[in-house]
């Protein structure tokens, strides 16, 4: 089963476009876990997954939050990925990029060793840095197009013949989509750009959309502009707003509540 | 001692601008190591370091080659970094990039946990994705400007108001250099671009220059255009051409010979 089939199935099964970002951070996690558990980080991730696995379509693990834990983080990453039920998508958000010979190693690391369903990559190096990822035909590579951060426009908005850089990236994503396994990352914080990019990419390319929640993206507009004609093919991510919704013994319940609310709000506009 | 002081010292001490890339790859490493050693990858890196530590200014470890080995790769990475003598620069080539909150974690992972002297980062997200790295004032962040690969121009050469994107990146690198700890990555395979970027960045910003050797960059021109007025501030990297120079019992000697030849050729043009 390839990525898009898996996406279609889980979106239907859980009736959800919601992706929860497992961005573990000891400063924000419930304090009691560090007193009570031998493996507080995994305990945390496990609780979040148990509490949300019937209401999400994907989990996104941002590599930075695992790499900062050193060796322990690497073990945690593998353990967490294994714990995620098979029908739910695992997106490893590493924004990797390198020349072809080296990109091949990253692709192997993420798709074969860590067994991700999808990853994020950075397009700055152009086609030969992207192809090694796309050669994994059943996986999906979400290419950064318009990011959600305040300085996203520093380069992404530079105009070339009256079209911004992100628009050229979108055109390349379409061009590189021979195997139908390209996706694009577009921040919910820039609705106009989101609209332009969805229009350019058509109905068949999935968008990974961060920027909801803490970063301030509007849900109604994100759903309107980010989904395709069938109101699908958008994976809407929230991390901090969901996994740190509670800080007490019942943090997992708070997380479930926050995830349900967001899932329902997204569906309201579909 | 900050990065530039350390760079100045080691360039003088070893009379070398050469950086050796420790891009371990089982398919290219001497076969006998896998029969003879309990820890063939570390044995290999150790031999290369022992054979070249008096003739290089830096070692560059590209993260992809370690990540593809999974947990073993992470341990190898730490062990190799610890083995590199303190006076020689450790450059971790991970081309990381993310929004500010997340970039902070990558910066901590690379500068504090792995203890790199310098790293490479990708500028696509703009200023707020770069600042968390630059906040480590004594370290150096080499920002991708013009990469060495064939498709580098896909986006980096797009013209905005008659100036290519890489030129805008160079201007930002200069602007972001408040702490004097920015560097730039520029491929030796594009000498004209190298010339433009060195001119734009002035004499005080170090360049990390891959693309010599297997990738085909010319040494004389690289030294001419890549160094500053004093014929310094360029770190010229070769990986495959040096570490896989030999394949027999005496591979370390072949590596030393290849490194010495390259070091001397670089110095010939200084």
Secondary structure in 3-state letters for A248-261: CCCHHHHHHHHHHH
A127 contacts in B (CB within 8 Å)? 151, 154
A152 contacts in B (CB within 8 Å)? 125-126
Tell me if chain A has a CB within 8 Å of the CB of B128. yes
Q: Cβ of A5: how many Cβ atoms within 10 Å?
A: 10
The three-class DSSP label of residue B164 is strand
Under a CB-based contact definition with an 8 Å cutoff, are residues A231 and A207 in contact?
A: no
Per-residue pLDDT tens over the stretch A72-95: 999 999 999 999 999 999 999 999
Per-residue pLDDT tens over the stretch A115-125: 999 999 999 99
**What are the residues whose beta carbons fall under 8 Å from the beta carbon of A86, sequence distance 6 or more?**
none
Which CA distances in Å does A240 have to A22, B74, B97? 8, 27, 19
Give the span between the Cα atoms of A58 and A259, in whole angstroms.
12
A129 contacts in B (CB within 8 Å)? 147, 149, 151
Which CA distances in Å does B70 have to A91, B59, B95? 17, 21, 19
Q: Is the pLDDT of residue A181 over 80?
A: yes
Give the span between the Cα atoms of A102 and B24, in whole angstroms.
11
Give the span between the Cα atoms of B17 and A137, in whole angstroms.
42
The three-class DSSP label of residue A152 is helix
- Verify whether the Cβ–Cβ distance A128 to B144 is below 8 Å: no
The three-class DSSP label of residue B18 is strand
pLDDT at B37: 86
- Verify whether the Cβ–Cβ distance A153 to B126 is below 8 Å: yes
Q: What is the mean pLDDT of chain A?
A: 97
- Verify whether the Cβ–Cβ distance A124 to B150 is below 8 Å: no
Under a CB-based contact definition with an 8 Å cutoff, are residues A238 and A18 in contact?
A: yes
Lookup: tokens for B56? 């290089």
Of B99, B151, B169, the CB nearest to A126: B151
**What are the residues whose beta carbons fall under 8 Å from the beta carbon of A216, sequence distance 6 or more?**
A189
pLDDT (tens place) for every residue of chain B, 270 residues total: 999 999 999 999 999 999 999 999 999 999 999 998 899 999 999 999 999 999 999 999 999 999 999 999 999 999 999 999 999 999 999 999 999 999 999 999 999 999 999 999 999 999 999 999 999 999 999 999 999 999 999 999 999 888 999 999 999 999 999 999 999 999 999 999 999 999 999 999 999 999 997 788 899 999 999 999 999 999 999 999 999 999 999 999 999 999 999 999 999 999
User: How distant is the Cα of B7 from the closest Cα of chain A, in angstroms?
Assistant: 25
State the CATH architecture for B3-268: Alpha-Beta Barrel (3.20)
Tell me if chain A has a CB within 8 Å of the CB of B173. no
* Whether ipTM exceeds 0.95: yes
Q: For chain A, give every domain's residue range.
A: 3-268
Per-residue pLDDT tens over the stretch A110-149: 999 999 999 999 999 999 999 999 999 999 999 999 999 9
User: How distant is the Cα of A12 from the closest Cα of chain B, in angstroms?
Assistant: 31
| Rounded mean pLDDT, A216-227 | 95
The answer to whether A95 is a known catalytic residue is: yes
Q: Cβ of A250: how many Cβ atoms within 10 Å?
A: 12
The three-class DSSP label of residue B234 is strand
Of A70, A102, A124, the CB nearest to B124: A124
Lookup: tokens for B25? 């790859």
One of B46, B53, B79, B95 is an active-site residue; which one?
B95
How many contacts (CB atoms, under 8 Å) link A and B?
163
**Chain B (5-64) residues lying within 8 Å, Cβ to Cβ, of chain A:** 23, 62, 64
The three-class DSSP label of residue A115 is coil
Of B62, B125, B150, the CB nearest to A149: B125
Please say whether the dihedral angle defined by the alpha carbons of residues B98, B104, B106 and B110, taken in this order, is positive or negative: positive
The alpha carbons of chain B give a radius of gyration, in whole angstroms, of 18
The runs of H, that is alpha helices, within A16-119 are 32-36, 40-52, 63-67, 71-83, 100-107
One of A53, A95, A224, A231 is an active-site residue; which one?
A95
Please say whether the dihedral angle defined by the alpha carbons of residues A149, A155, A160 and A162, taken in this order, is positive or negative: positive
Q: Is the pLDDT of residue A214 over 80?
A: no
pLDDT at A159: 93
Lookup: tokens for B177? 């250099």
User: Taking CA atoms, what residue in A is nearest to B144?
Assistant: A124
| Phi, psi at B235, each rounded to 5° | -115, 110
User: Which of B155, B158, B240 would best serve as a mutation to test chain A binding (most A beta carbons within 10 A)?
Assistant: B155
Tell me if chain B has a CB within 8 Å of the CB of A122. yes
The runs of H, that is alpha helices, within chain B are 3-13, 32-36, 40-52, 63-67, 71-83, 100-107, 127-134, 153-156, 165-175, 191-201, 219-226, 240-243, 251-268
Under a CB-based contact definition with an 8 Å cutoff, are residues A100 and A131 in contact?
A: yes
| Rounded mean pLDDT, A9-26 | 98
Give the span between the Cα atoms of A266 and A252, in whole angstroms.
21
pLDDT at A215: 80
């Amino acid at each position: 089963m390839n990525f898009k089939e898996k996406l279609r199935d889980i979106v239907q099964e859980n009736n959800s476009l919601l992706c929860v970002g497992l961005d573990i951070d000891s400063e924000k996690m419930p304090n009691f876990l560090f007193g009570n558990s031998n493996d507080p980080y995994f305990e945390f991730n496990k609780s979040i997954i148990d509490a949300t696995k019937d209401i999400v379509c994907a989990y996104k693990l941002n590599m930075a939050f695992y790499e900062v834990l050193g060796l322990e983080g690497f073990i945690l990453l593998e353990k967490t990925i294994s714990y995620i039920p098979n029908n739910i998508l695992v997106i490893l958000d590493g924004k990797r990029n390198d020349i072809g010979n080296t990109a091949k190693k990253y692709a192997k690391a993420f798709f074969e060793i860590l067994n991700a369903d999808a990853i994020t990559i950075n397009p700055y190096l152009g086609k030969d840095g992207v192809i090694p990822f796309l050669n994994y035909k059943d996986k999906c590579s979400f290419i950064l197009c318009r990011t959600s951060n305040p300085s996203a426009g520093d380069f992404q908005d530079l105009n070339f013949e009256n079209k911004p850089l992100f628009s050229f990236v979108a055109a390349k994503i379409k061009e590189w989509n021979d195997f139908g396994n390209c996706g694009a990352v577009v921040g919910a914080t820039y609705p106009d750009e989101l609209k332009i990019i969805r229009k350019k990419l058509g109905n068949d390319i999935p968008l990974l959309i961060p920027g909801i929640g803490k970063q301030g993206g509007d849900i109604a507009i994100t759903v309107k502009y980010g989904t395709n004609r069938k109101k699908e093919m958008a994976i809407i991510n929230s991390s901090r707003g969901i996994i740190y919704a509670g800080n007490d013994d019942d943090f997992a319940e708070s997380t479930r509540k926050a995830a349900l609310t967001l899932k329902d709000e997204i569906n309201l506009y579909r």
